[in-house]
A and B are shown apart, each in its own frame.
Chain A
Amino acid sequence: MKLRSIICVSAIAAAASASALTAGNTFARLPVTSTYENTLIAIPFAGCGETDAVIYVTNLVMTANLKSGDKLLYKDGSAYYAWQLTTDGGTWQKMATSTDFGTEVSPSAAQTTLPCGKGCWLVRSSATISADPKIYLFGQVNTGSLTTTIPASSDGTIVCRPYETGAIDLSSWRPTGVAAGDTVSVPDSDPANLTGKKTYTYKNDNWTVQTSETKTNKRGIVTTTVSYTPVSSGTTIPAGVAFMYGRQGTTDLIITWTK
C-alpha cells in the first residue's frame, strides 16, 4: 500500500514537470575586460557540463576574438604548461617549456584540465587587444561552497574567486588563517610585462598598502620609514580576474569561498 502511494506521487510529479524541462546546470559566459598583454585570468568554473565535470583548456577561454600567436600559460607547482594559437580564432596548440627540470611538450589542450579556483596567464598581442579588449571565459557556474589551498610559505600562487559573479573586496576579505605578511598582488599597469603590479600586505588584521619614505638628516644619516595603510573600501578584485597570493604563514591556507 505504501509502495503504491509513492509510485502515485512520482507519477504526478513527472506529469507536472513534463511541460517545463529545466536543466540542472547553468552555463556562464564571463566577460573580462583587460588591456594588458599579459592578463591573469581566473578559472572560476569546475565543469563545462553535467557529464563533463572538469574544465579543459579548450573550454575555458573563447578563442574567436583571439589571434595567431596569442598564448595561454598555466603553472602547476614548478611545472609550466603553454599553448598558443597558430591561426586567428583557432584552437590551442601545444608549446614546449624548458625549465630547470628539462624540456617538456605540454599535453594537448583538449586533454588538459584546469583546476577551479586557480588562475592562468592569457598572453595577447596588441592587435588582439585593440580589436577586442574583452576576454570571454566559459563554464558551468558553481553554486556551493568551494575551497582553494595555498601552500605554506609559498610565493605567487595564482588563485581566484571561483564564481562568475561577485568580487573580492580586500577591505573586508579575511580568509580564515590569513597570516601577517601574506601578500596579494594584482596586475596594475604595463601590459607588456606585468611589471606594474599592486601588492597588498596583510598587516595588523588588514590588507594594507606599503609605502616607504626615506629622509636624510643634517648629519647625513639616512633613515627609511615604512608604513602600512589599510586599503580603502572598494579595493576589489573582480570576477574573472586571478591574483597572486604570497603565503608567509607556515601552514597551508585553505580559503573557503561562498557565492
Chain B
Amino acid sequence: MKKTALFCAVAAAAFGVFAEDLMFEFSSTGDTYADGKAVENGEVYALVWSADGAFGGINKDGTLVRAGDEIVRTSFAENGGCFPTIFVLDSSKVKTTGVYQMFLLDTREFAADGTAGAPKGRAADGSFPVVNGYSAVTSATFKKQAQLTENAVKAEGAGGSAMEFAADTPKPDITDITPTADGKVVITVSNVVPYVPYAITCGETPNALTQKDVASVFSLSDGVLTITVANPGANRFFKVTSK
C-alpha cells in the first residue's frame, strides 16, 4: 500500500446559527494492497478520527484496538482508488481536537488456497466481517468543502505512515532451516497468511540482524511458507518479519 498519510486537523470552531454540515472531499487513484495488487472495486476507505493522530489500529474482526478511536465515515473503491466522495459531518458532532485521517482497508476474504476473494466491505450494521490490514492513503485530495458555518477546518500536509496489519494477525514462526548443497538456505515459516509479504532478516549474531530483506515472498495460502535465501554468506541467524 502507499505510505503517505493525509491529515486533517480540525481547529477550534465556533458553531454558527445554522446546524449546517461540514464537508470533506476525498478521492484517490492507484492504490494497492500490501501484496501489490490494485485495490478491488468495493474496497473500503475509512475516515478515522483519533485524539493524537496515532491511530491504534483495527482487529481482524473490524473492531478498533484502542478505545476512543473512531471510524467516522466510509466510502468505497472503484477503478483502483477511492470513488470521489464528499464526507458530510454534522458540525455539532465534529471533533474540535484530534486528527482525521483517511485509511484504505483490506477486507478481502481469502480462500484456503490463498485465492483472494472480493472485498467483504462493511456490513449494513457498520461492522466489518474481516479486516486484514489498513494503510493511510496517498495520491489524494482531502480538503474542506462547502459549508455555511464558522467552523474552521484545516487540511495539513502529508506525513508518512507505515503499512499496518490487523492487530490480531497471526505472527509467523520459523519452524525449519535447511541448507542446500549449492549454499542456499531454505527457511520454512508457519502461521502465515496470504495477504502479508514476508521477508527474512539475518546476521552473524542474534543481536545484530543487520542484513534486511535478504529474501521476501508472499504466502500462497494460509499455513506454511518456504523462503529461500540464495546468498546467506556468513549469516547464521535468521528472522522472519512482515515486509
Contact = CB atoms under 8 A, between A and B. Distances in A.
A and B interact physically: yes
Interface of A: 38, 71, 73, 80, 82, 84, 93, 95-100, 103, 105, 121, 123, 155-156, 183, 185, 187, 192-195, 197, 199, 244, 246
Nearest to A195: B150
Contacts of A187: 148
Given A103-B74, A121-B146, A97 B18 contact: no
15 contacts: A71-B145, A73-B23, A82-B86, A96-B75, A96-B86, A97-B86, A98-B86, A99-B88, A103-B75, A123-B146, A156-B20, A197-B148, A244-B18, A244-B148, A246-B17
A105 B75 CA distance: 10
Nearest to B124: A102
A193 B144 contact: yes
A96 B148 contact: no
Given A96-B76, A98-B75, A192 B18 contact: no
Contacts of B20: 155-156
A108 to B, nearest CB: 15
Contacts of B242: none
Contact of B88 (A84, A97, A185): A97
Q: How large is the interface on B (under 10, 10 to 19, 20 to 34, 35 or more residues)?
A: 20 to 34
Contacts, number: 82
A110 to B, nearest CB: 18
B84 A84 contact: yes
A225 B47 CA distance: 43
A194 B75 contact: no
A199 B17 contact: yes
Contacts of A93: 84
Given A95-B84, A96-B86, A98-B74, A185 B17 contact: yes
Nearest to B126: A102
Most buried by A among B18, B19, B151: B18
Interface string B1-43: 0000000000000001111110101000000000000000000
A97 B25 CA distance: 9
Contacts of A185: 17-18, 148
Contacts of A121: 146
A98 B47 CA distance: 10
B146 A96 contact: no
A185 B76 CA distance: 35
Contacts of B87: 97-98
Contacts of A95: 83-86
Cβ-closest 10 pairs across A and B:
A96-B85, A98-B73, A156-B18, A38-B146, A99-B88, A95-B84, A121-B146, A98-B87, A155-B18, A82-B86
